[in-house]
Amino acid sequence: MEANREKYAADISSIKEAHERIKPFIHRTPVLTSESLNLISGRSLFFKCECFQKGGAFKFRGACNAVLSLDAEQAAKGVVTHSSGNHAAALSLAAKLQGIPAYIVVPKGAPKCKVDNVIRYGGKVIWSESTMSSRETVAAKVLQETGSVLIHPYNNGRIISGQGTIALELLEQIQEIDAIVVPISGGGLISGVALAAKSIKPSIRIIAAEPKGADDAAKSKVAGKIITLPVTNTIADGLRASLGDLTWPVVRDLVDDVITLEDCEIIEAMRMCYEILKVSVEPSGAIGLAAVLSNSFRNNQSWRDCKNIGIVLSGGNVDLGSLWDSFKCSK
Report in angstroms the alpha-carbon separations of 232 from 127, 185, 193, 238, 320. 21, 11, 25, 11, 22
Catalytic, out of 14, 34, 44, 84: 84
Query: Is 59 annotated in the active site?
Result: yes
28: left (phi over 0), alpha (psi -120 to 50) or beta: beta
Distance CA 315, CA 87 (A): 11
Catalytic, out of 48, 59, 114, 221: 59
> Measured in whole angstroms, how far is the alpha carbon of residue 324 from the centre of its chain?
23
Query: Within the chain, where are the H helices?
Result: 12-22, 35-41, 59-68, 72-77, 86-98, 112-120, 132-146, 157-173, 188-200, 216-223, 248-254, 263-272, 283-293, 295-298, 320-330
Say which DSSP state 317 is in.
-
Report in angstroms the alpha-carbon separations of 34 from 43, 66, 305. 11, 35, 20
User: What is the helix (H) or strand (E) element at residue 126, kind and residue range?
Assistant: strand 124-128
**Who's near 305: CB < 8 A, 6+ residues apart?**
178
Query: Is 84 annotated in the active site?
Result: yes
- Do 238 and 286 meet the contact criterion of CB atoms below 8 Å apart? no
Question: Which residues share a beta bridge with 49?
Answer: 313
- Do 100 and 79 meet the contact criterion of CB atoms below 8 Å apart? yes
- Do 292 and 163 meet the contact criterion of CB atoms below 8 Å apart? no
Say which DSSP state 315 is in.
B
Which residues are designated catalytic? 59, 84
